[in-house]
Amino acid sequence: MLCRACKKKEATVFLKLAVNSKVVEMHLCGDCAPYAADGSFGGLDIEPMNMAGQGGGACAFFKEFLPRDKRALSCPACGLAYHEFKDSGRLGCAGCYESFAPQLSELLTRIHGNCRHTGKRCGPTAGAPAPERTRGAARASSSVLRQALKKAVENEDFERAAELRDRIRKLEGHG
């Protein structure tokens, strides 16, 4: 049986959903199934597809039963889907490294023969503070740091946010 959504691949998943007192049954292929479950699927004209409003629980539950490479992985920070990365070879943001960590570990090992950085380190402990800093530099970096802080808060990365807040305070002479 062909997948009801793409009508190209063999259906390997039988999906039965009960939403708003209606039961919907679908035969889907592994590629289309995750999209059907999370409501991001435009090709089907049936109401229960809109699962986003149901808290996405069905989607998460459903994905657990899919083979790892068929799950609709995406980066919560920038929205890049893993299949987009596979097509373009380019990641969307630094957060992608965390979002796709298992896949990237495998890929990086293939590319570099290793997936652990052993070189120069970066961060507050990496180097001594600059001996002197011009006002222009302080302004430039504080605006960039503020943007980074906003992003860290959005991503609920509070440890990073606290670190950035301290750096901004120090830079602006409050710390």
Partner 1 sequence: MARVTDSFRPCVTWANSGGKWPDMIFSTRVRLARNISGFEFPGRARPDALGRLRDGALEAARSTRLFTRGHYIRTAALTGPEKNFLIERHHISHGLAAAERAGAVVVNNDENLSVMINEEDHLRLQSVEAGFSIEAAFERVDRLDDELGRMLPYAFGEKFGFLTACPTNAGTGMRVSCLVHLPALSRSGQMPKLLENLSRLGMTARGIYGEGTCVIGDFFQISNAVSMGRSESELCDGLDRTVSNLMRLEITAREKLAAPRVRLKTEDGVFRAYGLLKNARTLSYGEFMQNISLVRMGVAMGYPIRTDFSTLNQFTLLMQPAHLEAMSGRRLEPEERDAARAEYIRKNLP
C-beta closer to partner 1: residue 5 or 161:
161
Contacts of 93 (CB under 8 A, 6+ apart): 75, 77, 78, 80
Beta bridge partners of 28: 13
Closest CA to 49 of 74, 32, 73, 31: 32
CB of 81 vs partner 1, minimal distance in Å: 12
Amino acid letter, residue 58:
A
Least Å distance between CB 23 and partner 1? 40
* Cβ contacts of 124 within 8 Å, gap of 6 or more: 163, 167
12 sits near partner 1 (criterion: CB under 8 A): no
- Compute the least distance from the CB of residue 99 to partner 1, in Å: 12
Tokens found for residue 56: 């996405």
- In the complex, least distance from residue 147 CB atom to partner 1, rounded to whole angstroms: 5
Site string for partner 1, 64-103 (x = CB under 8 A): --------------x-x-------xxxxxxx--xx--x--
Element (H, E) at 23: strand 22-28
Binding site for partner 1 (CB under 8 A): 78, 80, 88-94, 97-98, 101, 104, 107-108, 111-123, 126-127, 129-130, 133-134, 136-137, 139-141, 143-145, 147-152, 160, 164, 167
